[in-house]
Amino acid sequence: MYEVSVKTHFSAAHHLNNYPGACSEHHGHNWEVEVFVRGRSLDDTGMLLDFRDLKEALKDVIDIVDHKDLNMTTAFKNKNPTSENIAGFIYDEMSARINGNCTVDRVQVHETPGTTAVYWKEALPDD
């Protein structure tokens, strides 16, 4: 099994509905995101996935949330923009963009230094 990852970051504002604390107020973060892609075989050049292609796909996804009020985006109109939900959103969006001999394995989102939310799909029985 092979795995590659890329990191990026984005800035956005949000507030958490029904949260009993300061995060219920409008505020912002500089999130760091890392996307991990996994596969069993390499292509003819010896790559699982070209880092350039992975970075481009991630940029397209990050452009949806970067410098936005997340509560006002379509993705979070009916869902709290927690780091967990952001990780799930990025996972789903990246999975729609990555195909071939690999799949998105997991997405890590760091809301602040020292805090991490991770999203992945449970392994299927044949994995």
Residue 67 is a catalytic residue:
yes
Q: Which two tokens stand for residue 72?
A: 């006002």
Q: Report H helices in the chain.
A: 51-65, 83-97
Active-site residue, selected from the candidate residues 15, 110, 111, 122: 111
Active-site residue, selected from the candidate residues 15, 23, 32, 84: 23
Q: Which two tokens stand for residue 30?
A: 């500089």
Residue 102 is a catalytic residue:
no
Residue 3 is a catalytic residue:
no
Task: State the Cα–Cα distance between residues 73 and 69, nearest whole angstrom.
Answer: 7
Name beta bridge partners: 104. Answer: 37
Q: Please list, residue by residue across 92-124, b when 16 or more beta carbons sit within 10 angstroms of its beta carbon and e when fewer do.
A: ebbbeebeeebebbbbbbbbeeeeebebeeeee
Catalytic residues: 23, 67, 111
